[in-house]
Amino acid sequence: MTQSTDSDQHGFKRRGVLFVLSSPSGAGKSTIARKLLAAEHELSMSVSATTRAPREGEVDGRDYHFVDIEEFRRMASDHEFLEWAHVFDNRYGTPRAPVDAMLHAGKDVLFDIDWQGAQQLFQIAGGDVVRVFILPPSMAELHQRLIARNTDTTEVINRRMARAAAEVSHWDGYDYVLVNDDVEACFRKVQTILAAERLKRSRQTGLIGFIRKLMH
């Protein structure tokens, strides 16, 4: 599914990276995703559809496409999702068409999706997918971050905490596992992973042509 994208000064083509960030809610993946998007101009965000209500400050079409359950069901039955899952009491899904368009335009794509989404994406796109899991330094710190974020009721925070251990148990479905202790340090590691993955030989589809020319 992944298109080739222009690469460095040698004119190599390379396959786009489908870069997945997952974490238990509150560990900091949105914070890191925002920093990464600001720093990486060849990276575009996949905006998911969700049936959950917008949080204060969230913008429809930027943070999520907020849809009702009927619209979500229609999108699923019309195969408009690359993957979708139940998370908490809501449904979340990745619309397929924008991802195809971003890859076609030569972008890498960033996904903020849970382990179920990472698993489904890996089944579809295999070697193009890079899965990064972000851990909090402790469960107590995770709780503090959810409180400090000030976006959820105590009941919702308690449910997120109750689910956190189950999410962490999927750590071995990821290529990289990082602890988000210092946000700058964690961000730099994520950036390093993206840079290295972009350079992987298996993504350099134009390399063979360059090698041929080099040998003559």
Chain positions contacting ligand 5GP, by CB under 6 A = 22, 25, 48, 52, 83, 85, 87, 92-94, 112-114, 116-117
Choose the stretch contacting ligand ADP; rule: CB under 6 A; options: 9-17, 26-34, 38-46, 168-176.
26-34
Nearest residue to ligand 5GP, using CB?
Answer: 117
Contacts of 60 (CB under 8 A, 6+ apart): 54, 66
Tell which positions 183-212 bind ligand ADP, by CB under 6 A. Answer: 183
Q: Is 48 in the site for ligand ADP (CB under 6 A)?
A: no
**Owner of token pair 């809501």:** 90
The answer to whether 93 contacts ligand ADP (rule: CB under 6 A) is: no
Number of residues near ligand ADP (by CB under 6 A): 14
From the number of C-beta atoms within 10 Å of its C-beta (0-12, 13-18, 19+), residue 52 rates as: middle
Among the listed residues 28, 115, 125, 135, the single contact to ligand ADP using CB under 6 A: 28
**Residue 180, contacted partner among ligand 5GP, ligand ADP, none, CB below 5-8 A by kind:** ligand ADP
Q: Which of 110, 78, 75, 111 is nearest to 91 (CA)?
A: 75
- The total number of residues shown for the chain amounts to 216
**In angstroms, what is the minimal distance from the CB of 59 to ligand 5GP?**
13
Binding residues for ligand ADP, rule: CB under 6 A, are 23, 25-31, 145, 148-149, 180, 182-183
